[in-house]
Structure 1
Amino acid sequence: MSPKFKNSFLILQKLHQLSGGVAEHHYADIFEVGRELRMNELATLDTFIYLQRERLVKWGTLGGVASITQQGIREIEGAMAGKRTAYFPQDIADTV
């Protein structure tokens, strides 16, 4: 599995958990999220930039604070349910 898919899934899953499934409800420090997921800072930042460009996360403030968007919630909930989504292969939750 591509590290891009894995990292994107893990980060969106964590933001979904922190937000309680509510878009733009909880802002998290992206580097703290990355550390919790055992990702280095470069991989964390690259993944967040990718997710932001795809409009799955939204930057909150300068300094690395972000939240999950409604589109991000739809994607991660579909992926966690074992469905193929626009960004994740089917059953990614079982392989990460």
Structure 2
Amino acid sequence: MHDIETISKKNEMIILLALILAASPIIITYLLLILSSFSEEMFTSLSLSSFRPTVVNWINVFKGKTAITGGITVNIWHYTLTTLLVALGITGL
């Protein structure tokens, strides 16, 4: 009598491949989003030849320039601290 059901290696690989294929659009989208945050323009293709890395966007965020066209500055550290406090409160630390 077996208490544990086992799955064959072949079926395990088929399930793993199906999960990777199902998750690949989400993974690719997040990869493009991360690459766009380090680029001066929106990075929409998987061709790295047009990618020119820069940290200007991150410098603007930390300076509070989140809406460049409106000239509005926002204290990002307030939101960061609030998020950290909520996360610590939820985890019980």
Tell me whether the two structures share a fold, i.e. TM-score over 0.5: no
- TM-score bucket (shorter structure): under 0.3
Larger Rg: 2
TM-score, length-normalised on structure 1? 0.25
Which of 1 and 2 has higher RCO (CA within 8 Å, sep 6+)?
Answer: 1
Higher strand share: 1
